[in-house]
Amino acid sequence: MIKKMSLNLYAATILLSALIINTQTVVAQSTFATSLKEVFKNDFLIGTAINTQQIEEKDTASDRLIKQQFNAVTPENIMKAEIIQPGWDKYNFDLADKLVAYAKKNNLKVNAHNLIWHSQLPSFMRHMQDADSVRKYFVNHINTVAAHYDGKVYSWDVVNEALNEDGTLRKSIFLQKLGDDYVVEAFRLAQKASPHSKLYYNDYNIEQPQKRAGAIALIKKIKAAGVRIDGVGIQGHWRYDKVPMKDIEESIKEFSTLGIEVMFTELDLSVLPNPWDNATADVSATAAGNAKMNPYANGLPDSVAQMQAKAYADLFQLFLKYKKSVSRVTFWGVNDGQSWLNGWPIRGRTNYPLLFDRNFQPKPAFYRVIATAKSVSK
């Protein structure tokens, strides 16, 4: 009898423990009921990059967080040329159409990414030598894709990463075959094909003086040709302990004097060592790995998380200082586990660059970012 009662008591204890754990989970999920999009709703859009699983609503945890925290989305890959135009006369709009439908259903603005980029091109473009064929692809791709989403997407990254670090034009297939005016022509075509969408230039490191000067010259050239450009996207792939605050502030001021919007379009703050002396976000770059290059494989130390949080807070203080010029801040991913930085430039690393951890829980950086809005509102 005593043994039976002990077993019943044990079972009751287990049940009670399970209820407590479930309750704690619910509480944990509701403790960040404050949302980024709400606290910054009068300042700028808050966006995130989303992948195929999220677009198709197969990742329920991501889906909840996207709806709660963000009011803008950028497709991470599915609108890049190799996916949306896999053949010369073949276009695949299925996933991009799902993205547009998902965004409409959830009141999210879509920044379409992108029309012209030297990377992730269709296979038929990789060894193309004939300039007329390149021009035909260039014109047809912009006309077809941009027109298909006219009035359905809020904005387009018309040209992506056209500049070298010294501010000169990158020797892409488009520069080599179409000449120095190809960026202007891309915006001209996009303006005609998608008159109801905003048109942006997007690049990394354009907060740096030399590359910034090249971007400014490019924007001025587009405007001088009588072609519309509505904004510039500074990607924001920085290390948490080396965020170039002074350069970022100068960039906001200099770009905004051109009469265009300034956005931070692919924001993430890596906590891992840089294998090079220079800063780059070129997706084709790779480096050899070792244990020193992956120091937090088993978890992020709180001391590092707190330093990252301060870096994010400093950034958002700056964004808020220039909120009349900054129109959008987009994080490049929903949570740490989904970040491209886990596999770039060294495969298999464990990075922690975003505001939410691998369990979709808010990190110290989230709370510090929220606090910046509250401190400024006072």
What are the two backbone dihedrals, phi and then psi, of residue 77, each rounded to the nearest 5 degrees? -140, -30
* 49 Cβ contact partners less than 8 Å away, ≥ 6 residues apart: 73, 74, 75, 76, 266, 330, 331, 332, 333, 334
**Chain centroid to CA 329: how far?**
9
Q: Is 82 a catalytic residue?
A: no
Q: Which of 76, 161, 185, 207 is catalytic?
A: 161
Of 173, 176, 155, nearest to 116 by C-alpha is: 173
Give, to the nearest 10 degrees, the angle between helix 131-148 and helix 182-193.
30
Question: Which element (helix H / strand E) includes 364?
Answer: helix 364-377
As a whole number of angstroms, the distance between CA 191 and CA 184 comes to: 11
Q: Is 161 a catalytic residue?
A: yes
Question: ∠208-110-355 over CA atoms, to 5°?
Answer: 60
Distances 237 to 50, 186, 208, 274, 292 between C-alpha atoms, Å: 17, 25, 12, 12, 21
Q: Which of 76, 185, 207, 266 is catalytic?
A: 266
Give me the active site residues, please: 161, 266
